[in-house]
Amino acid sequence: MSPRLLVIGSSNVDLFATVPRHPFPGETLLGTGGARAAGGKGANQALAAALQGANVQFVGAVGDDADAELALAGMRAAGVDLDRVVTVSGAPTGLAIITVSQDGENTIVVIPGANAQVSAEQAVGAVERMGSDDILLMQGELPPKSTEAAVRAAGAAGLRVVLNVAPWLALEHDVLTAADPLVLNEHEAQLAVAEFGLAPEDGGPMAMARALRMAGAPSVVITLGAEGAVVASAEPASQVSGSRAPVSGSRVTRLPSPRVTAVDSTGAGDAFTGALAARLLEGDDLQDAAAHAVRVGAYAVQRRGAQPSYPRAGQELPGTFA
């Protein structure tokens, strides 16, 4: 069988509202929308990867309610393996309430529901069935203990882990440094740097990526929205004069984003991360995978919604890279 991407994560129903601008505290605005669609960071990334041609299995939980099928519908249609999704009796399916302003920026409130019941035992059991060429992809919407147990199990088995700590979780340091890559947006990267007690020289994304690499992460990707992404990975080891041991530094690269008109940024980070993992599964190096993922994210922000905005493999993407 071809290598498989195992995604252990959340699945939600997204409830959308569109407003002229985001309200101030205590303010009421009239909006439009009210549409409901499949979402959740785990499900979004699983779908994005599957649409890019990856063989994907999703592990998670839904409630015993009418929203369960809607939450899984996009993945099911894309051929994602859902055999390890459990139904939690008495719990609602996860819900995300998303408000999108006219400039395409969003605010999101997530109610975990059944996602909070994804146990460490369920997660580790799925990891134990992975093959040696499979990749584990996780995010920050599950209970921390479940995420930590799965990442440690994958690390112990010598499996590659892509960890997108979104939303931010203060996971144990050995879990954060098991990620190859650790994927963060700029705000999450600031929190990660603080978690490690680091003080990058200028506080910019390239300095933060380099600092997280030196803290022990094999590779780091920091997404920057319309500004693209920063990728940090190990340079080939070299012999330093006067030293007996080979050393390696960090190669840090900034990848620009194609210029597009953003309509809705909801789920664009998940489009990026799913596409990144799909390309790594195919054997791309991290920089090439991230360059492709930047273009997938730029495609997604030009369309409304999360999962409905994701491109399929072979669709024309904005921009080119030299």
Contact 140, 165 (CB under 8 A): yes
The DSSP call for residue 92 is P
**Residue 227 is labelled as binding a ligand:** yes
Was 270 annotated as part of a binding site? yes
Exactly one of 270, 284, 285, 288 is catalytic; which is it? 270
CA distances from 173 to 75, 180, 215 (A): 32, 14, 9
28 is in an annotated binding site: no
Residue 224 annotated as lining a ligand binding site:
yes
134 carries an active-site annotation: no
**Per-residue CA distances from 82 to 56, 73, 79, 275 (Å):** 9, 10, 9, 19
Is residue 145 part of an annotated ligand binding site?
A: no
Is 42 within any annotated ligand binding site?
Answer: yes
Both tokens of 315, joined, read 């669709």
Q: Are 14 and 270 in contact (CB under 8 A)?
A: no
Check the annotation: does 115 bind a ligand.
Answer: no
Binding residue per annotation — 4? no
Task: Give, in order, the Cα–Cα distances in Å from 248 to each of 60, 208, 216, 275.
Answer: 38, 18, 12, 28
134 is in an annotated binding site: no
Where b means 16+ CB within 10 Å and e means fewer, 222-259 reads bbbbbebbbbbbeeeeeeeeeeeeeeeebbbeebebbe
Is 27 annotated as belonging to a binding site?
no
State how far the Cα of 46 lies from the Cα of 138, in Å rounded to an integer: 10
163 is in an annotated binding site: no
Which residues, at least 6 apart from 126, have a Cβ–Cβ distance to it below 8 Å? 6, 8, 57, 59, 84, 150
Is 44 annotated in some ligand binding site? Answer: yes
**Which phi and psi angles does 72 have, rounded to 5°?**
-100, -5
Tell whether 303 is in a known binding site: yes
Would the annotation count 94 as a binding residue?
no
33 is in an annotated binding site: no
Rounded to 5 degrees, what are φ and ψ at 14? -95, 130
- As annotated, the binding site includes 12-14, 40-44, 141, 185, 223-228, 264, 266, 269-270, 300, 303, 305, 309
- As annotated, the binding site for substrate includes 12-14, 40-44, 141, 270
- As annotated, the binding site for ATP includes 185, 223-228, 269-270
Q: Which residues are catalytic?
A: 270
- As annotated, the binding site for K(+) includes 264, 266, 300, 303, 305, 309
